Amino acid sequence: RLRALNRLQVILQHLKMSKQTDSTAEVLLEKKGGAGIITLNRPKALNALNLPMIQKIYPQIKAWEQDPQTFLIIIKGTGGKAFCAGGDIRAITEAGKVGDKLTQEFFIGEYRLNNAIGTCKKPYVALIDGITMGGGVGVSVHGHFRVATEKTVFAMPETAIGLFPDVGGGYFLPRLSGKIGYYLGLTGFRLKGRDVLKVGIATHFVESEKLPALEKDLIALKSPSKEKIADLLNSYHAKCTIDQEKEFVLDEHMEKINSLFSGNSMEEIVKKLKQDGSPFAMKQLETINKMSPTSLKLTLRQLREGASMSLQEVLQMEYRLSQACMKGHDFYEGVRAVLIDKDQSPKWKPAALEEVSDEFVDNCFKPLGNEDLKL
């Protein structure tokens, strides 16, 4: 009986899906061959994730995971400019101002989705063509395969808006080589093209115009194993010669990044940058001085703690931090300055690192009891 029920669910799922491919939907979910395909379809908003999109994608991934006729999951964006430029920050800001539940529901939904991708039993292939930031990183980086192109722009720019590099940033950033994850998380530095592969965010690099052919070949694979999928991606990767000779953009600075960003506190990192005094160090200091002091302190601790946590523990920690930011000042001020008024001059409170007390930071990391994220 259970089997028949499961079969019925799968059939209903397929029927539902044939309806969902109407091209105006914000996310398209379709089955082609042995592949489940997720298309983020808000090109005007650079495919930013909102709660309804998240609520559609999550159960679909879970259904495909159970479906014996689905062998892999592909996620991509439309419009040619962005894979996904982040979460729908504006909606969250509006909600936060009026005490709406969206400030909880959005992060709960998003982090559960990140976890579903991180634990997905089916091979998960993210085609990260174009802008991939914040929430877009969350729906790609935790999967098995991430295919970057010459158009990929990767960044976690949250400290500039009074937030922190969430969506599991506390898990993957400290696991990148040396201190580069700390550097990316604190400064929001943008990596482009092949550099996204070199840093370990992407697993493969393929020309943007070859992606439709790659997708077709992935769909055509007959009951593929993870190895078969990897072989196909590897063959495309091997043929791509764009920027092959170019050295990694941060190569010459890696030694400095590893020493300067190894401080135990933000104050220590700032001190190291000042003492170093090189043009590179001064440029980082200038960047850090623009960021929310509260965000910087939360981020450094998030990355240091996340380095030894599981993805689930990290997402729980990040949910606590998200709720602390929703109750604070800097997130709303950062969004105002960067996204709404665009005057790029946020007035942070507190305005200096020294004024963000350890006690305040500790409080942001405290368990929320019944309100904690359940995965």
Which whole number is the average pLDDT over 141-162? 98
Length, in residues, of the chain: 375
pLDDT digits (tens, 9 = 90+) for 2-23: 666 676 666 666 655 554 556 7
- Is residue 212 a part of any domain in this protein? yes
The pLDDT confidence band at residue 1, using thresholds 50, 70 and 90, is low
Domain residues for the domain of 348 are: 24-243+252-371
Percent of the chain with pLDDT over 90: 94
- Is residue 14 a part of any domain in this protein? no
The Cα–Cα gap between 35 and 56 comes to 17
The Cα–Cα gap between 79 and 322 comes to 30
The pLDDT confidence band at residue 162, using thresholds 50, 70 and 90, is very high
Q: Domain count of the chain?
A: 1
At residue 230, the pLDDT reads 98
Which whole number is the average pLDDT over 92-104? 95
Q: Is 185 a catalytic residue?
A: no
pLDDT digits (tens, 9 = 90+) for 282-341: 999 999 999 999 999 999 999 999 999 999 999 999 999 999 999 999 999 999 999 999
- Is residue 8 a part of any domain in this protein? no
- Is residue 76 a part of any domain in this protein? yes
- Is residue 267 a part of any domain in this protein? yes
Q: Is 158 a catalytic residue?
A: yes
At residue 23, the pLDDT reads 75
- Single out the catalytic residue among 77, 87, 168, 188: 87
13: which residues sit within 8 A by CB, 6+ positions away? 60, 63, 67
Exposure letters 322-358 (e unless 16+ CB within 10 A, then b): bbbbbebebbbbbbbbbeeeeeeebebeeeebeebee
Which whole number is the average pLDDT over 345-367? 98
Which whole number is the average pLDDT over 192-205? 98
Residue found by looking up tokens 């592969």 in the block: 197
- Is residue 2 a part of any domain in this protein? no
Q: Return the closest-CA partner of residue 156 out of 179, 177, 181, 139.
A: 181
The Cα–Cα gap between 131 and 45 comes to 12
CATH number at residue 336: 3.90.226.10
Q: Is 109 a catalytic residue?
A: no
The Cα–Cα gap between 148 and 143 comes to 13
Which whole number is the average pLDDT over 57-69? 97
Q: Is the pLDDT of residue 174 over 90?
A: yes
Q: Is 362 a catalytic residue?
A: no
- Is residue 210 a part of any domain in this protein? yes
Handedness of CA 319, 321, 324, 325 (dihedral sign): negative
pLDDT digits (tens, 9 = 90+) for 106-134: 999 999 999 999 999 999 999 999 999 99
- Single out the catalytic residue among 34, 36, 134, 135: 135
At residue 179, the pLDDT reads 98
Higher pLDDT, 3 or 272: 272
Query: Residue 137's CB: how many other CB atoms inside 10 A?
Result: 28
Contact 124, 113 (CB under 8 A): no
- Is residue 218 a part of any domain in this protein? yes
- Single out the catalytic residue among 88, 129, 166, 215: 166
The Cα–Cα gap between 164 and 318 comes to 9
Q: Are strands 153-155 and 191-192 parallel, antiparallel or unpaired?
A: antiparallel
- Single out the catalytic residue among 67, 110, 158, 330: 158
